[in-house]
Amino acid sequence: DGRVGTGGAYNQFNELTIGGETIIRNILYGQAMHEAMLGRRARSLSLWDVFGHAPQISQIARKSGFNGIVWSKKISGFEPFFYDYALDGSRLLHRRVDYAYSFSGFGSGKNYTLDNFRATTERKFAETQTYNSAVDLRINAADFTPPWTNLAGNVEKLESNRPNIRVTGQAQDLYFDALNKEIAAGTLKPPVTSRDKLFFHVGVMAARSDLKIAHRLAENMTLTAEKFGSIAYLRGAKYPDLALDKAWRQIFFGSHHDAITGTPSDSAFLDLIHGYREAFELSKVALDDSLDFIAKQINTTPPSKTQNSKMNPIVVFNPLSWKRNDVVKVEIDFADPNFDYELVDEKGSIVRFQLSETENAGNQTYQRKNVREIKFIAEDVPSLGYKTYYFKPNKYARMQFGGLYSNSNRHIIENEFYRIIVDANKGGAISSIYDKQAEREIINAEGGHFANEIASLKEELTKKNVIYPAWEFWTTGEKKFSTEKKARIVSHPLANNGKAIVIEGELPNMGKYRQTIALHKGIKRIDFKTELVNYKGKDELFVVNFPLNLTGGALVTEDRFGTVVRNNSKGFLDFRTNTDKLVSGAPVYAVNNWAEYGSTLNLNFIDASGKRVASVPFKPTALVRPHGESYAQLTEDILSSLIKRGVSVTPFYDDNDEARRKNLSIEDSTMPKKLNDDIAYHSFRIALGGEKENLYSASLLKQVSAETKGKFDERLTRDGFAYLFIYDKDITKGWSPVPTLLIAGDAKKAVENLLAPIAKDNFALNLAAESLADTNNLPQVPDYGVALINNGTPAVSLENPDTLTLFLTHTAIFPGVNLPFEFVPENKTHVFNYALYPHAGSWREANTVRAGEDFNNPLIAVQTDVHDGDLPGEKSFLSVDKENVVVSALKLGGNPQANFRSSYKANERPLFVRFYETQGKKTNPMFALGQSGWEFGQVGLLEGNAADTLSSGSNGFGTEIKGFAIETFSLKPTKFEVQKTNGQTLGATKEIVQPVFSRYWLHNGGAAPIGNDAVKVSLRPVEQMGELSTFAYDDKYNQGGTTTVAVRVQVVNNYQDRNYKGEVILDAPEDWRVVPDKLSFDIAPNGSFAKDVVIVGFPVKKGLEFERASGLIKARIEHEGQIFQDVLNLGKRFNLEWTIEKADDDNVTVKIKNPHRQTIEGAVALITPLETWTGGSYSSEPNFPRELAFAAPPDSEIALKFKTGNLPAGTWAIARIAYNGTVDYQRADALMQRQK
């Protein structure tokens, strides 16, 4: 009935530090729940408090069915409402409106009158009216603040106001509806922009680096599990809905803008990192089950020439949609440890491999004498498919161990692509990387800085410098570099003649740092691992630097579903930010997989012979134009064209829009008052219009010589339009001159001529060399690029001069301290994986997007046995023929937990494949599947049914996709039937802790339990139905020492398609009475059941006295193999006593004492950093359980043991106990560390 509006997503996700698929799934889940629970989908997307927005958010929102986006952060450079252009050229309305309402005391009733509220609202409305709009939007929202009660009592009065003030829960939907009507009527033309919506609390890009890395690992693992879970489903297994649903919801929980950004609460950090571990492990188990299921259907009988009774087949799976060569790491259980083995492919060709036993000799895994970890290079593994290898016993083979050995004289490693030289006297940093194919040096060490050097930057994050210390950078200028001291260098061989160098050196506040640099035969990539061993400091920011032997380029960064060009820093390693301000002029960007020194769109200057004599890269652009309709249209033409090449544009008026703004006392606009006030946010300018039309153009022409001005005027007369490229030197002190293109004369013709190459899918704009104002020191964009690829540490910058910088981690205070002990998450051993990809040509020509995906999605090997099967030894399940198209998701549709569906009809659930174009050019990809008999159709990002069928019965489909477009297709089997889903179960189907506590949020566990709260039971005292806290009773319930309480039992059925029939079992102390103690129910879809029961509690005799009754009331239901329980504590709290002990056998023991007269159920979690997670990129330790359940009997003590093994030095470990709504934390880390 319109009283409640929804935000359109699961939560307000932080776009800049999560992947594109997480954004889409977050919206999908939010809309599904809103529709199921509230009966409608949101029409607009609320990203109200989010710290910046991705360049593709408008495309994502538009293709998710939204007609607008509203957000509040005061990010510089935006009108109050505008069309935002995404990279594919699509646009969507945005409204930026200040956070909260800024009307002091209105909600509390202090200094309040309705007339004052009306006056303030109308004063704010004045800005909107200057754009010729008769509609405005205000939002009553603030942290921890309910809606204003004073509004609720005056709704009718306000609606009778002129102008009408309507108070509604669906205000933003109605606002965009009204705005679109004005646009359609032609009375309103909103401003346009494609500006980066980034800079707010910039420090969140690197704060709490564990959360960023954990998110990347969990997200990629879940996407991979979806892909192979879908393939296993087609072959008869049960799709891992329950496991993947819980994994996604834990990922969403961590994606919140106050979570992954670097939560200000110490205990919340622990809960978040543990939630990411759960997501990672749920998906990993589902993936392992899926790969094992597929492997069992592969015919692994080796070809005759390689057969041997003791063969060990290894199936290598590729989760990406192209054929790959890459490193494989896998643990192998050799059948006979007395034999040596050789690795062969199906053709019998020998593949060299490396054993890494020496390096891991202390790990429990390798105490199993048959188990070895190996590494090798797998070649030509089919796209989204697999290839089979065999370990074959051979007494003449030599098992090669890859342990480390000292060789301080060897400082050079190389493969066919690169030669790398490190300097032990400079901390083991790299003095040279030579590209053999391009015949060029990549590193510039002449400035005193070396590649892969670690910099420790002192910070002072206090209220003196910043408003929110946890979310900013504030370096003091004090720096320490790893190059300041000598380092020790050791080397060891890698698979297939690869080489690595390992450096160990000293930095303050840590045991040591260790850096590994690795090259592999056949792989054009340099892999790095940096470890900060047992770090114990504070107030430091750590980065690694790569000073490049390149000039004239720009910072190009991969974002979510696209690539954009960004700004460089004003100085070198001076990072100071405060809310929306880049105080030191150093923009830091959270990229997706990589950042590159190169360019995305060039402006070339061509002489009369056709030779390119100069070139400059486009960078984020300020477009300065006069007023007027014709210039407004040309502005939109330029903006919509450049964004398709990843170049953002901010329009400015040449008079700073002074006439419109001068009488406004309040503005939602964040547009700078002067162009130079924006100098930190753009690095290129376009002046549209000549000196008579454009005040800025006139000022530019005053900077050039009379001769240059004369020639410019001649061209203007000759051609009717003219260009002039100059460097604007009239800028803020300390900044470099800004490259500027002036366009004068017939602006329409000049703009069409300039932009023509973009319409033809070219990546350079060409002007005559005569357009150059200065022909001395002509700039050139290098025909070469260097990409820095991350594995979850997304923050990067381009430092001056020409230095790629990757942010590793920094410490920041916790404003919210909830733990009973001091906790600094960064005090541990850190492991950071990253890579360098130097290449000839642009990032498009070198396909840097694929390089980034390869590094973040390693090949996966599974050991199986020799058996028959109907699948061949090598196969692709899905491929695409265009290298500029990436498959981002392959999944089974339906989303039953999100939609609260319990079942689907046979073949009712299609597969969905999502893909995007990576280079900004129109493409016609063809997709091929591993079998025939499909119907294909295009759908929106939120899936659904296809309007049209592209093809039917074939094994593939083709389509046209725009540059940087994101598209989704449904795949329905037609000529084959999906095998009935009563096969093998994939992944977890229930929580590891049973019973599941109904009010799970009180246990700090993150998202709802497995099943997504499809059914729920709860207990509340009848007289305190509004209370969620512990029941407190008074003497009116106490009759002669006997306590009588009425308690309401409620059961909810959230399913939309089935009844829920069952029984509530009620439990109380054995000498109490519950009437009745069982309740049967049969609840309709989306319905509930409620029944009051009476609890009679008798007093307990204590010596000669009787103590008032205290006890636990428990209500339990069963559903789909899980037990759900709510607990009401009457009287005194039933608290447990618990301690932690370290055993001699590497166990951590938690002892729990229950002094009460009832059994207490709960769980203990052992929370550790992501470096300890088994199966990720960081650890091969034994997988100790993340959580153990307990049921502590009355008046007893129990012990829980975590078999942790030996963990890296400095590893923190925190135990969390949770029971009946009580949570407590204790340190366990001092008991379980070793020097690695």
What stretch(es) of the chain map to CATH 1.20.1270.50? Answer: 209-295+881-973
φ/ψ of 1208, rounded to 5, equals -60, 155
Query: What pLDDT is attached to residue 1182?
Result: 54
Q: 996-1130, which class in CATH?
A: mainly beta
From the list 144, 36, 17, 274, the residue with the least C-alpha distance to 816 is: 144
> 181 to each of 83, 177, 986, how far by Cα in Å?
15, 6, 50
Q: Residue 877 and residue 233: Cα distance in Å, rounded?
A: 13
Query: What pLDDT is attached to residue 689?
Result: 97
Query: What pLDDT is attached to residue 362?
Result: 40
From the list 868, 861, 863, 860, the residue with the least C-alpha distance to 313 is: 863
CATH homologous superfamily for 209-295+881-973? Glycoside hydrolase family 38, central domain (1.20.1270.50)
Query: What pLDDT is attached to residue 978?
Result: 59
Q: CB of 473 within 8 A of CB of 498? A: no
Q: Residue 311 and residue 300: Cα distance in Å, rounded?
A: 10
At CA 602, angle to CA 601 and CA 603, rounded to 5? 130
Domain covering 1137-1231 assigned CATH 2.60.40.10 in the classification:
yes
From the list 1194, 984, 1217, the residue with the least C-alpha distance to 291 is: 984
What stretch(es) of the chain map to CATH 2.60.40.10? Answer: 996-1130, 1137-1231
Q: Residue 782 and residue 29: Cα distance in Å, rounded?
A: 45
Note the Cα 121 to chain centre separation in Å: 38
Q: CB of 594 within 8 A of CB of 851? A: yes
The CATH code that applies to domain 304-403+858-863 is 2.60.40.1180
Domain covering 15-200 assigned CATH 3.40.50.80 in the classification:
no
* DSSP structure string for 368-408: STTEEEEEEEEEEEPTTEEEEEEEEE-TT--PPB---EE-T
Query: What pLDDT is attached to residue 920?
Result: 97
Query: What pLDDT is attached to residue 945?
Result: 82
Query: What pLDDT is attached to residue 977?
Result: 62
From the list 774, 735, 739, the residue with the least C-alpha distance to 601 is: 739
Q: Residue 199 and residue 197: Cα distance in Å, rounded?
A: 7
CA torsion 1025→1027→1029→1032, rounded to 10°? -70
Q: Which residues are within 8 A (CB) of 891 and not within 5 positions of it... i.e. 6 or more apart?
A: 226, 227, 229, 230, 911, 912
Q: Is the peptide bond before 547 cis (omega within 30 degrees of 0)?
A: no
Q: Which residues are within 8 A (CB) of 196 and not within 5 positions of it... i.e. 6 or more apart?
A: 55, 564, 566, 620, 648, 681
Q: CB of 651 within 8 A of CB of 636? A: no
Query: What pLDDT is attached to residue 1218?
Result: 98
Q: 405-597+783-815+822-846, which class in CATH?
A: mainly beta
3-state secondary structure of 637: helix
Write the pLDDT tens digit of every residue in 173-201: 999 999 999 999 999 999 999 999 999 99
Six-digit token pair at 858? 């390693």
Query: Number of C-alpha atoms within 13 angstroms, CB side, residue 825?
Result: 31
Q: Residue 654 and residue 648: Cα distance in Å, rounded?
A: 19
Burial 212-239, CB ≥16 within 10 A → b, else e? bbbbbbbbbbbbbbbbbbbbbbbbebbb
Helical segments of 553-657, H only: 629-642
- Cβ atoms within 10 A of the Cβ of 195, count? 26
Placement of tokens 């690694």 in the chain:
544
Q: CB of 689 within 8 A of CB of 743? A: yes
Query: Using alpha carbons only, how large is the chain's radius of gyration in Å?
Result: 32
Burial 139-173, CB ≥16 within 10 A → b, else e? bbeeeeeeebebbeebeeebeeeeeebebeebbbb
Tell me which of 3.30.300.90, 3.40.50.10680, 3.40.50.10490, 3.30.379.10 is the CATH number of domain 600-771.
3.30.379.10
Helical segments of 64-148, H only: 114-129
Q: Residue 687 and residue 689: Cα distance in Å, rounded?
A: 6
Query: What pLDDT is attached to residue 141?
Result: 76
Q: CB of 555 within 8 A of CB of 957? A: no
What stretch(es) of the chain map to CATH 3.30.379.10? Answer: 600-771
Share of the chain residues as helix, strand and coil, in percent rounded to the nearest 5: 20, 35, 45
Query: What pLDDT is attached to residue 1179?
Result: 59
What stretch(es) of the chain map to CATH 2.70.98.30? Answer: 405-597+783-815+822-846
Q: Residue 470 and residue 51: Cα distance in Å, rounded?
A: 13
Note the Cα 688 to chain centre separation in Å: 38
What stretch(es) of the chain map to CATH 2.60.40.1180? Answer: 304-403+858-863
> 732 to each of 300, 670, 735, how far by Cα in Å?
69, 19, 6
Task: Look up the pTM and report it.
Answer: 0.95
Q: Residue 660 and residue 657: Cα distance in Å, rounded?
A: 6
Query: What pLDDT is attached to residue 409?
Result: 46
Placement of tokens 């330029």 in the chain:
638
The continuous run of DSSP H or E covering 532 comes out as strand 523-533
What secondary structure letter does DSSP report for 256? B
First to last CA, the chain: 63
Positions of the chain with pLDDT under 70? 1, 101-112, 304-309, 335-339, 357-369, 395-410, 491-498, 975-982, 1023-1041, 1101-1107, 1143-1145, 1175-1182, 1230-1236
